Structure formats: structure tokens, C-alpha cells
């Protein structure tokens, strides 16, 4: 039962931010590099968000591995830096959406809360 609960938490809490990151890597990365080259601040926010999000995705993958296989022989505390980078990426993405779509800005809190909860769950198994 816990596996189904955690799986649904990951799906609903982190699914939309994963889609946003994939769009950012595919489309936002080239445009943000060009915007930074032209001296635009918004391009730097998007570029920082995509790069920090890439680091955060690695931590998220390790967190999910620990959830699926709790007896795996590594501590999730090694990936705390990666998860913090992912949280900073979400905050930078939220800043870039201010004034464009405020619902997205409010929803950006959800992945940080879900990641914190899952980190706490995985820390108890280590």
C-alpha cells in the first residue's frame, strides 16, 4: 500500500515539473543561451534553472531508486546537494513565471514539499 501511495505522490507531485524540465532542456536551453549572449536577465534565470534542474534530476533519480529498493546499500544523504540544486532550479523557474502565470508559480511549491517528504522517508531507511 505504501508503494502505491509513494508512487502516486511522485506522479502527481513531480510529474509536471519533470515535463517542464524536459521542455526546458529541449527548447529553453538554446533560447536561454542566446538570450544570455544578448544580455537578457530572463535568459540567465532560465539557463540557471535548466542547469540546476539537471543536477537535481540526478538526485531525484537516486531518491526514486531508494524508494523502489529501500534495501539498496547507499545513503540518500550523499545526494542532498543534488536535491538542493533541484529545489533552487524550481525557485528560479518560479521567479521566471512571476507575472506570466501565477498558478504555475504557486504550483512550484509542490515539488519542493514532495521532495522533502520523500527525502525524509528515504532517510529513515538509511
Angle between helices 41-68 and 109-125 (to 10 degrees): 30
Q: Rounded CA gap, 83 and 101, in Å?
A: 25
- pLDDT tens for 63-106 read 888 888 878 887 888 888 998 999 899 888 888 778 787 777 77
Q: Report the pLDDT value the prediction gives residue 55, as an integer from 0 to 100.
A: 92
Is it the case that residue 111 has pLDDT exceeding 90?
no
Q: Report the pLDDT value the prediction gives residue 122, as an integer from 0 to 100.
A: 82
Give the pLDDT mean for 20-41: 87
Instruction: Give me the domain span that covers residue 19.
Output: 2-125
Q: Report the pLDDT value the prediction gives residue 26, as an integer from 0 to 100.
A: 86
For residue 51, what are the contacts with CB-CB under 8 A and spacing of at least 6?
89
| Through-space distance between the first and last CA atoms of the chain, rounded to whole angstroms | 21
What is the tally of structural domains in the chain? 1
The model's pTM is 0.81
Amino acid at each position: 500500500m505504501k508503494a502505491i501511495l509513494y508512487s502516486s505522490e511522485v506522479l502527481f507531485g513531480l510529474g509536471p515539473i519533470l515535463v517542464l524540465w524536459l521542455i526546458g532542456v529541449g527548447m529553453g536551453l538554446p533560447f536561454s543561451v542566446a538570450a544570455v549572449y544578448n544580455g537578457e536577465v530572463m535568459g540567465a534565470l532560465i539557463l540557471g534553472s535548466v542547469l540546476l534542474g539537471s543536477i537535481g534530476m540526478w538526485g531525484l533519480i537516486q531518491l526514486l531508486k531508494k524508494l523502489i529498493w529501500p534495501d539498496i546499500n547507499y545513503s540518500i544523504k550523499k545526494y542532498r546537494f543534488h536535491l538542493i540544486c533541484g529545489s533552487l532550479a524550481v525557485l528560479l523557474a518560479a521567479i521566471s513565471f512571476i507575472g506570466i502565470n501565477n498558478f504555475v508559480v504557486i504550483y512550484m511549491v509542490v515539488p519542493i514539499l514532495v521532495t522533502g517528504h520523500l527525502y525524509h522517508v528515504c532517510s529513515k531507511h538509511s
